Chain A
Amino acid sequence: MSERETAQAITDRAAAWVARMDREGHDPAVRAELKAWLAGDDRRRGAYFRAKAAWTMLDRASVLGAGGGPSGEVAAAGSARFPRRRLLWGGGAVAAALVLGVTGMDYLTAPDQRIQTAVGEIRRVPLSDGSLAAVNTQTSLDVTMKPEVRQIALEAGEAWFQVAKDRARPFVVEVGDVRVRAVGTAFSVRRTPGGVNVQVTEGVVEVWRVGDEDRIRRIAAGTRAFITPDEAIVPVVAANEEIDKALAWRTGELVFDGDTVADAVAEFNRYNVRKIEVADATLGARKMVGRFRTNEPDAFARAAATLLSARAVIGPDRIFLSRKTSAPATESK
């Protein structure tokens, strides 16, 4: 190495390496080769990391897929609504208080597939083992298919899985320290700040916490379990109709049946950048019935207004629901 490699040459090689790893990164020989290349120079490690970060960032484009369901419309409806003094992509809140312990080289073993959805986006994603994932709004998950196990790491949000039968290769969803294992079945997993909600629509899944493998709970079709960080025993609850209703998002719908306005609004706000605000608690506590598209908060607001003799002020960035007397004198449609 008498001649110093130019920075441009390094950048180009790094891009070529990311492309190669994307194609055959599962091959240990290729990984070893990459490691050897990286070991040559700090600049190579930097250039590879940069190229890899750019490549990973492009996964955001999955939102743009037509897919099934209303994702396309939602994405379109959401655009061009924000003031842009200047275009910047940064700024998403840094996930708070990450307790991390990663070595610099760890990024070399990437998952097979990362699925991310934006606000309001719902995607149906076929997995390479023949399973199907329906991925709900604001969700991030990693798929890693290994010879002995099919691993899904759910980082945030909610997904429903229809698992292709493969006795030799269990299908395991990891949510923090909670594990949900299925062989051939269909179930959903949602990560919330308060805990992990598992709902089973077909067959049986097993749920446990890492380190607590003695206490595996079986959850059958038509039941659900909510696993909180402090409860040792996972309670299993019968909830057949509730599950159908709760999973209506898979077809881009929200179904309410005796839910409060406040709960319905919280659901809509999961799917839309244009948030609904409810002016007072009395209105929020009223119960209602209805079936709506996830991406039509305005339709919901109008229906709620009619149903409950309230007033809906539908603005470009937010929707305001209030009782008739206390409506603010802002824009109206």
Chain B
Amino acid sequence: MGVAKTNVVNREKRAKIMAWVGREILPHEADVRAWLRRTLDPDDLEDVIQEAYCQIAGLKAVGHIRSGRAYFFTAARSIVLMRLRRARIVSIESVTEIENLNIVGDEPSPERIAAGRLELDRVRRLIEGLPDRCRRIFELRKIEGLPQREVAERLGVTEHIVENNVAKGLKLILQAIAEGEQSVETKMTRTERDERARNSTSDH
């Protein structure tokens, strides 16, 4: 991966892009999904979301992007149109629907000031909404900043159990992000149930 110095520089840049995605992209995922849901069936929708994130992952810079929200909508839209051309998914009327998309631009500025605070509230609620053991592990890992090994020691469980719970908790959090705001806790329980119904593979 090149010399150490380059890695240091790249790491800073990567961290910045990653933080930007957390701030400017993830919060809008539920809205992008809601919009896609009007035209796509759930599996295709999921594909489009993943491809959009893949596109975002390839970004070499984010400084030129004025609104993450608008960027996300545009990315999703272009992927849908591309698939449409390949006649993979949608019906004709959805074309007009998609072409008519009005992308919502920047958020009003007074709310921007409070955004850091709100992001924190949101993160707190995401963690609080997790099932007990998951929550404890996320608290130790993310609030107290302990590495997984120390979390395992502290709780007297194997590292393997910690890792599994990190995966499980993260899945739940990703679902909460997909479903958007409102009551994260109730959504969590609901999506967990949905997931079990839809997907019989066990995560333990």
Contacts and interface: CB of A to CB of B under 8 A. Distances in A.
Interface of A: 6-12, 15-16, 18-20, 22-23, 42-65, 75, 78-79, 82-104, 106-107, 109-115, 118-119, 125, 128, 140, 142, 144, 149, 151, 153, 155, 174, 210, 273
Contacts of A84: 111, 114, 118
B167 A87 contact: no
B123 to A, nearest CB: 5
Contacts of B46: 6-8, 11
Interface residues of B, number: 92
B186 interface: no
A12 B171 contact: yes
Contacts of A151: 8
A52 B53 CA distance: 11
B153 interface: no
B15 A111 contact: yes
A101 B46 CA distance: 29
Contacts of B138: 58, 61
A46 B49 contact: yes
Nearest to A44: B50
Interface string B134-160: 000011011111011100000000010
Contacts of B115: 88-92
Nearest to B53: A46
A85 B141 CA distance: 32
Contact of A49 (B16, B56, B113): B56
B95 interface: no
A205 B7 CA distance: 24
Nearest to A127: B145
B10 A82 contact: no
B58 A22 contact: no
B46 to A, nearest CB: 3
B8 A63 contact: no
Given A53-B22, A107-B17, A16 B167 contact: yes
SS class of chain A's interface: helix, strand, loop or mixed? mixed
B170 A55 contact: yes
Looking at A7, A63, A96, the one whose CB has the most chain B CB atoms below 10 A away is A7
B149 A51 contact: no
B50 A47 contact: yes
Given A22-B166, A153-B8, A153-B11, A65 B143 contact: yes
29 contacts: A9-B199, A15-B167, A18-B167, A22-B163, A46-B55, A46-B56, A46-B57, A49-B54, A50-B26, A51-B174, A52-B18, A53-B25, A56-B19, A58-B123, A61-B123, A64-B120, A64-B124, A75-B120, A82-B113, A82-B118, A88-B181, A94-B65, A100-B13, A101-B60, A106-B10, A106-B13, A115-B145, A144-B11, A151-B8
A216 B130 CA distance: 50
Contacts of B49: 7, 46, 50
A60 B145 CA distance: 11
A53 B120 contact: no
Contacts, number: 281
Looking at B13, B60, B120, B122, the one whose CB has the most chain A CB atoms below 10 A away is B120
A94 B198 CA distance: 38
A23 B119 contact: no
Contacts of A112: 147
A56 B22 contact: yes
A56 B177 CA distance: 14
Nearest to A60: B123
A83 B110 contact: yes
Nearest to B172: A15
Contact of A54 (B20, B22, B24, B66): B22
Contacts of B19: 56-57, 140
Interface string B24-58: 11111000000000000001001101111111111
B62 A53 contact: no
Given A43-B51, A92-B23, A95-B16, A58 B126 contact: yes
3 closest Cβ pairs, A-B complex: A7-B46, A46-B54, A57-B22
B62 A100 contact: yes
A287 B66 CA distance: 42
A87 B181 CA distance: 7
Contacts of A60: 22, 119-120, 123
Given A87-B118, A102-B60, A15 B107 contact: no
B143 A61 contact: yes
A95 B50 CA distance: 25
A58 B138 CA distance: 9
Looking at B47, B198, B203, the one whose CB has the most chain A CB atoms below 10 A away is B47
B60 A103 contact: yes
